[in-house]
Structure 1
Amino acid sequence: MPANIPAVVFIGGGPRTAGVLERIAANRSELFTGPLDIHVVEPHVPGSGRIWRYDQHPGLLLNSTAADVTMFTDGSVECLGPAVPGPGLAEWAAGVVDGSITDVPDFPQLLWEQLRQLNGASFPTRQLQSQYLEWFFRRAAKSLGRSVTVHRTTAVGIRPGNAASGFHVVELANGRTLRADILVNALGHTDSRPDAASATWSGFARRHGGFHAAPGYTTDVDYSPIAPGQDVIVSGMGLAFVDLLVLLTEGRGGRFEETSDGGLRYVASGREPRLWAGSRRGVPYHSKISATLRGEAPGRLRFFTAAAVEALLERHGELDFRRDLWPLIAKEAGYGYYRELLTGSPARAAMDWDEFAARYTALDWYSARREELVAAAVPDSALHLDLERLDRPLEGRRFTDRQDVQDAVAGYIEHDLALRDSPEHPETLALFLALLHVYMEVGRVVPPERLNARSQQAVHGWWHGFFSFVDSGPPPHRLRQMLALHRAGLLQFLGPNLEISTDEADGTFRASSPQFPGTLAATAFIEARLPGTSVARSLNPALESLHRSGLGTEQQLLTADGIHSTGKLLVTSRHQLVDAQGQPQATVFAVGPGTSGWGAGAFARPGTNAAPFRENDALARAILSVARGLTAEPSAALSTAPAVVGKN
């Protein structure tokens, strides 16, 4: 390669890298018109990567409808680069079917059937999503000319190159090396060594011949040791739990059938285990919503705004999530909820919306006057928005026995479906949209360095979990399937605040809840959740190398209890990696769920000013700005062996 061509190396080639590549192409004419040498290191097919790869069970679905998925930065995104329109997943599928989109591979018949049946309201398979993501990556790479080389291998190490030039060397599993004048860590979700509790449980299972699955990616866990009919304790009732149900029921030959009364029945294969599921809340994530808004259309946020946050900063200097931000978020959520209720379902209201809105605006969310206003405007107390009860629906409830728990959780699921999979309650959609809008806005208007440590934990912990519980749940038919499995005796509920212990005498795991008497014993235990982020315990060799060398470090928060590590890779607001000495690295970037940045996800709903698209644009512009100022050394691979280019 000629000299002075900056070499950019992306470690990880999933949808986040694809989005940044598209933004590099969109911003290139403004910021850097010279040649680039871009390398993408990804052992799986680029675009989909590991998490969204085609090689998954065909029953695994997205928890978003096709209309709510796009990879394109549209005009709603507040960024410096230009919007480049393109088809979301639903439009892409339609274009493939009608022949207007032709740059796709020869799909198997199963995918053609899915493409033909897909509409905006469908919940696509992950297999189908993989093809959209891979198409987008190819399109983004093509827009960069011949600049992009894909290496279908793994990055196993990162070390400094020439100290004077400041580049880094990326070591690959195939024995080759790459020079990186600019390095971008975009690994997405990765595995970690189990924490102390999980490691102890795994050791217990090995000693006693039992089974334990530590937190992991459900589709990558081997569940074959679990025998038909075996009792299995499951901790976690989120999206990983939904995937687990698919793999251990339909994945073992069972099927669901519609009944004559419109219900659902599970026909077992006889190979299924019996699952006993519990969690902190004791209930599954809320279902996605099928209602449509009837009332006044949502507008811009009114309370959780940049101006409001700036005023709080001027008043306090440092922000506290619970004291300062959450009341604004709650008030914003309530405004959207009650606007739809009063304007879209006026028969349920006893007050005109304009009067309600004027009075509501002047009141704090946590005030008696606000509660009195709601009581006067909405006579049915069951329709009053209680965010604390929404978060912990079984809090404080005492159960007399295990059957009481079964009835409570099954009743909760049925009620959730009645609210969210029905045209009669569009206020649930208004709440969903308000929380989504706020969630996307947090990273834009809240400077993370101005949050106290406790609040940074709250944002990445409780707030993300609450949002996911309410807004990021499964398709409604998944909850119907849970009820069918429950009726078939293959899914039982353990209740809230699940506690796990072990009994060395008989080699069993024990599950209990402080809210009802008794325990359940089983020789198998599954932790149905993703691994917690931990750079220090990472099983990814590139992350391990970053941490070991001190080039990267975990985010540390000083709290009243001492120093707490979030486990996330510490980055600046510009996504620059911060080293062990606290110094930002001008040419090393990191982005994605394993970093301390705000943004979440790699794709999003169209028209929502989505945080990942804003981040992608800012990162692309930073990369181009650095490239413009570099006088790079020759950017060929340092190995004398020829480079290997991965082909889709």
Structure 2
Amino acid sequence: MGRSQSIRTAIIGAGPRGTSVLERLLAHSAAQPGSRPLHIDVIDPYPAGPGHVWRPDQSRLYLMNTQAFYPTLIPEDPRLAPPLAGTTFDRWRARQQRDPLPSLTADERSELAALTSKDFPSRALYGRYLRCALEELTANLPDGVSIRFHETSARSVRPAGNGTFDVGLADGGSLPADSVVLALGHIPSRLSPEQRDLQSSARQLGLRYLPPAIPADVDWSELPAGEPILVRGMGLNFFDAVGQLTEGRGGKFIDAGNRLEYEPSGQEPLIIAASRRGTPYRAKAALDGYYPLSVKLRFLTEAALERFAAAGIRPGFDHDLWPLLHRDALWAHYSTLVRSQPVAVPDRSEFLAALDDALRPHAHSSANWEQAVQGVIALHVDPRHRLDLLGLASPLAGRSFASRAELDAAVVDYLLDDARRSALGEQDPVKMAIGALHHGRAVLKTAVADGGITDESWVAGLRGWFESFVEGLASGPPALRSEQLAALARAGVVSFVGPDPRFGVDRGTGMFTARSPWVKGPPVQAKTMLEALAPANRVSANASPLLEQLLADGLVRPRLMMTAEGAPVQATGLDVTPHPYRPVAASGSVTRNLYVLGLQLSAAQWGTAIAAEAIQPGRPAYRSGQRTLRDADEIAQAILGH
């Protein structure tokens, strides 16, 4: 097939990232009138705009992990081509409250009526926003642009000569394309060997095993009432599962004055929760913005990144970047302590001056700065007010329990203390230390993108320990979820296994089992086991027919990284060139006119966001905040030849 007079591009994946590429193609086409005609094929079996994850028809109990002021599909960068239509989610929310669209459902109107800028919207409502944004865009097509939506899956992408492609569809058809964008989002994944063993044992013994899945895809009615259910994982998917099995079955939370109580419906199972830490993620602090305003990074700054670059240093995570962020977290904690609890540090001016001096990188080598800081803290701060930063992620570490009842009581205490701290917001030292990590994560996304740190540092440091550490502290649910979980534990609906759980199958009793080495007593047993985890985001373990074809044909390959010992390890994402992201083929050549955006960039970008960050006036704005939208913009320009 020869190159046509018009430009034909195929976007595979119609969720937020695919829609971002579509939005940028329209913006640039409008900004350059008289360009070659453009035809866009958008391919996804799920509704265009929301895609798979954000479907508007899903349960309203599934909440976003960010407040209404945070997300946007539409860029706000004045350096980019101006958008044709659409706005941020928060402005859309306010507009619907003033002048609701006739197409809004009763449930959508009801949620919008009570939703403030600082509330956590349902994923269903965000999906409605995405759908509305797409409808506004397609109602404002520039001259010479046509779009066709294909509600099916792409099964293959193969070269068709002269730099073009043939896109094979699941319905048997095919599409010619000059360029293809892979915006695949969450894709099916093969199970790990352990998960396959559990699934196989379940089939043999007549047990019920639910593998990792997007929560909205799970048939929760399969899980029986009144029976124990073993749940592995206490991250965000865990709270989704708990919501469906409690409120989703008619249970009610009641405000009993100083705490929540849970009134069961009688349809709940007994949820037995297990995770490596033994506790859920910490809850988000109550803030007016995405980042705490009282916390300002002093060490891990974008200026520090520029100094590394100017000195020709490719920083390592553990040696160069983490010590700076560690300093910022310590300063955030102790400066907040002095501000919010003056009696905790009687000689606070002297203490802050000494701490500031001890923290300064120029004054100490990386080998002894922590010792100097600890000396200052020991001299001025009572032990009960000192920060154990790494210990925040493992609140049960160093403890053992005589029974699971004792463990449950300890987890409830942790949940309520964490919710109390969240309510204090910028007045709580612990939450502000976590706030510094949250600020720092935004800077790290810029620092490590496109090979910004060494491979061995990425493997051993960033992904090796820091990612799970910071996720458990800074990516948690609204504090209400912690209070609700405590109420469910008090009501006997939820109990816990304990840290470092070991899972298995007892073939004698025909049951799944789990036990913690730190909790006395027999293992817990259940006929049902639920993996409260998202499918693994590893391109080498994918179960997507399209991605498997691309790998088999050598058009793409996983990224290999080298450990400190010189051993190659396969990274989670595709091997790509720096932005705009084109995949590297198995031969090492670059696959021209093929682009990647989103989760499959996890070996080139770290912490890929679920959405771009809307700009809040007067609030910190980091370069990583709208990175996904800038990436989409660069891809659009490359497709159009700009």
Normalised by the length of structure 2, the TM-score is: 0.88
Which of 389, 392, 399 lines up with 2:391 in the alignment? Answer: 389
CA–CA distance in structure 2, aligned partners of residues 370 and 387 of structure 1: 13
1:98 aligns with: 98
Alignment match of 2:627 (pick from 588, 606, 614): 614
From 432, 437, 440, the equivalent of 1:438 is 440
Q: In terms of mean alpha carbon deviation, does 353-362 or 526-535 score higher? A: 353-362
2:282 aligns to what SS in structure 1? coil
In 1: Cα distance, 2:33 partner to 2:520 partner: 67
**Equivalent position of 2:604 in the other structure:** 597
2:485 matched residue in structure 1: 482
Task: Label 1:626 to 1:555 Cα distance change in 2 as closer, same or farther (>3 A).
Answer: same
1 CA distance for matches of 2:635 and 2:120?
35
Counterpart amino acid of 1:225? Answer: E
- Where 1:525 maps in the other structure, the secondary structure is strand
Q: Which one-letter code corresponds to 2:640 in the other structure? A: A
Contact 2:9 2:639 in 1 (8 A): no
Alpha-carbon deviation of 1:344?
5.3
Which position in structure 1 is the counterpart of 2:116? 119
SS at match of 2:513: strand
- More displaced stretch, 476-485 vs 143-152: 143-152
Give the number of the structure with larger relative contact order, counting CA–CA contacts within 8 Å between residues 6 or more apart.
Answer: 1
Q: Work out whether residues 235 and 498 of structure 1, in 8 Å CA contact, stay in contact via their aligned partners in 2.
A: no
Contact 1:18 1:136 in 2 (8 A): no
Aligned: 1:529 with 2:533:
yes
Per-residue deviation, 1:24 = 3.7
Check conservation: 1:286, 1:474, Cα contact below 8 A. yes
Map of 1:637 onto structure 2: none
Tell me, in whole angstroms, the C-alpha distance in 1 between the residues paired with 2:282 and 2:213: 22
Q: How many residue pairs were aligned?
A: 619
CA contact (8 A) 1:74 1:84 kept: no
Q: 1:84 to 1:434 in 2, by over 3 A?
A: farther
Query: Matched residues in 2 for 1:577 and 1:423: separation?
Result: 43
| Equivalence for 2:544 | 540
| 1:461 CA drift (Å) | 5.3
What amino acid maps onto 1:400 in structure 2? A
Report what 2:203 is aligned to. Answer: 206
Aligned mates of 1:536, 1:618 — CA distance in 2: 24
CA drift at 1:612: 5.8
1:39: which partner in 2? 41
Give the drift of 1:524: 1.5
Cα distance change, pair 455–27 in 1 and its aligned pair in 2 (3 A): farther
Deviates more, 1:179-188 or 1:366-375: 366-375
Contact 1:253 1:269 in 2 (8 A): yes
- Counterpart CA distance in 2 for 1:342 and 1:401 is 39
- 2:23–2:83 contact (8 Å) kept in structure 1: no
1:272 offset after TM fit, Å?
1.2
Q: Which runs of 5+ in 1 are unaligned?
A: 630-648
**Aligned position for 1:175:** 172
Separation in structure 1 between the aligned mates of residue 134 and residue 63 of structure 2, nearest angstrom: 21
User: Matches of residues 452-491 of structure 1 in structure 2 within 5 Å?
Assistant: 452-457=454-459, 458-460=461-463, 462-491=465-494
Once the two structures are TM-superposed, the CA of residue 323 in structure 1 deviates from its matched residue by: 2.2
Q: Pick from 582, 585, 604 the counterpart of residue 576 of structure 1.
A: 582
The equivalences for 1:7-156 within 5 A come to 7-27=8-28, 34=35, 35-75=37-77, 87-99=87-99, 104=101, 106-145=103-142, 146-156=145-155
Give 1:256's aligned residue: 253
Task: Answer whether contact 1:535 1:547 (CA < 8 A) is retained.
Answer: no
How far did 1:346 drift? Answer: 4.3
Residue in 2 that maps onto 1:563: 568
Q: Distance in 1 between matches of 2:425 and 2:436?
A: 19
Amino acid at match of 2:117: G
| Counterparts of 2:319 and 2:222, CA distance in 1 | 48
CA contact (8 A) 2:182 2:597 kept: yes
Q: Secondary structure at the match of 1:624?
A: helix
- Which position in structure 2 is the counterpart of 1:195? 192
Letter in 2 for 1:410: V
Q: Tell me the amino acid that sits aligned with residue 528 of structure 1.
A: A
- C-alpha change, 1:14 and 1:423, in structure 2 (3 Å) is closer
Of 598, 609, 624 in structure 1, the residue corresponding to residue 637 of structure 2 is 624
Q: How far apart, CA to CA, are the structure 2 residues paired with 1:514 and 1:29?
A: 63
C-alpha distance in structure 2 between counterparts of 1:276 and 1:60, whole Å: 20
**More deviation in 323-332 or 6-15?**
323-332
Matched residue, 1:646: none
Name 1:243's counterpart in structure 2. Answer: 240
CA distance in 2, matches of 1:535, 1:74: 32
Residue 315 and residue 278 in structure 1: after superposition, are their counterparts in 2 closer, same or farther (change >3 A)? farther
> Given that residues 23 and 617 in structure 1 are in contact (C-alpha distance below 8 angstroms), is that contact kept between their aligned partners in structure 2?
no
Judged with a 3 Å threshold, the aligned counterparts in structure 2 of structure 1 residues 358 and 112 are, in CA distance, closer, same or farther, namely same
For the Cα contact (< 8 Å) 1:291–1:424, is it kept in 2? yes
**Relative to structure 2, which stretch is displaced further, 610-619 or 347-356?**
347-356
> Measured at CA, do residues 447 and 292 of structure 1 come closer, stay the same or move farther in structure 2, by a change above 3 Å?
closer
Shift of 1:84: 9.2
Cα distance, 1:312 vs. partner? 5.2
TM-score normalised by structure 1 residue count = 0.87
Shift in alpha-carbon separation, 1:267–1:96, aligned structure 2, 3 A: same
State how far apart, in whole Å, the 2-side matches of 1:423 and 1:108 are: 34
2:535 and 2:94 map into 1 onto residues whose CA distance is 36
Distance in 2 (CA, whole Å) between partners of 1:447 and 1:91 is: 30
Q: Tell me the distance in 2 between the aligned counterparts of 1:112 and 1:429.
A: 34
Q: Which runs of 5+ in 2 are unaligned?
A: none
Indicate the SS of the match to 1:544: helix
Partner SS state of residue 277, structure 2: coil
Q: Report Cα offsets for 1:353-377 as digits up to 9, x if no partner.
A: 5675455334669512212334456
**Matches of 1:206 and 1:275 in 2, distance apart?**
22
Q: Is the 8 A contact 2:205 2:510 kept in 1?
A: yes
Q: How far does residue 347 in structure 1 lie from its aligned partner after superposition?
A: 4.9
Among 279, 298, 301, the alignment partner of 1:302 is 298
- 1:66/1:122 contact within 8 Å kept: yes
